[in-house]
Structure 1
Amino acid sequence: MQLKVGDKIPNFKVKDTNGNDFDSQEMIGQKPLVIYFYPKDNTPGCTVQACGFRDQYEDFTDLGAEVIGISSDSVESHQKFTQQFRLPFTLLSDSDKKIRKLFGVPPDWFGILPGRATYVVDKAGTIIMIFDSVKAEQHIQKALEAIKTLK
Structure 2
Amino acid sequence: MGLKEGDIIPNFKAKTQSGEKFELSNYIGKPLVIYFYPKDNTPGCTTQACSFRDQYQDFQDLGAEVIGISGDSEESHEKFAQKHNLPFILLSDGKRKLRTLFGVPTHFFGLLPGRVTYIIDKEGKVVSVFNSVKANIHIEHALKIVRNMK
TM-score interval w.r.t. the shorter chain? over 0.9
The separation in 2 between residues aligned to 1:101 and 1:41, in whole angstroms, is 19
- Counterpart in 2 of 1:35? 34
| Secondary structure at 2:106 match in 1 | coil
Structure 1 counterpart of 2:123: 124
SS of residue in 2 equivalent to 1:110: coil
Partner of 1:66: 65
1:18 corresponds to: 18
Q: Distance in 2 between matches of 1:98 and 1:86?
A: 27
Give how far 1:121 is off: 0.3
For 2:75, the equivalent position in structure 1 comes to 76
Q: 1:46 offset after TM fit, Å?
A: 0.2
Deviations 1:110-129 (A, max 9, x none): 21100000000001110001
Amino acid at match of 1:111: G
Kindly provide the amino acid, as one letter, of the partner of residue 41 in structure 2: N
What's the TM-score, normalizing by structure 1?
0.98
Runs of 4+ in 1 over 4 A off after TM superposition: none
Q: How well do the aligned residues superpose, as a CA RMSD in angstroms?
A: 0.6
Structure 2 residue identity aligned to 1:16: T
Matching of residues 131-142 of structure 1 within 5 Å: 131-142=130-141
Distance 1:11 1:102 in 2: 10
Aligned to 1:5: 5
2:25, 2:54 → 1: CA distance? 27
Question: What SS does the aligned partner of 2:47 have?
Answer: helix
Separation of aligned partners in 2, 1:36 and 1:143: 10
How far apart are 1:100 and its partner, in Å? Answer: 0.5
Equivalent-residue separation in structure 2 for 1:114 and 1:98 (angstroms): 13
Aligned residues: 150
How far apart are the structure 1 equivalents of 2:108 and 2:42? 15
Q: Deviations over 1:66-105 (max 9, x none)?
A: 0000001000000000000000000000111100100000
- Which is worse superposed, 8-17 or 86-95? 8-17
1:11-59 CA distance string (max 9 Å, x none) = 2111011100000111112x10000000000000000000000000011
Q: Which amino acid aligns with 2:47?
A: V
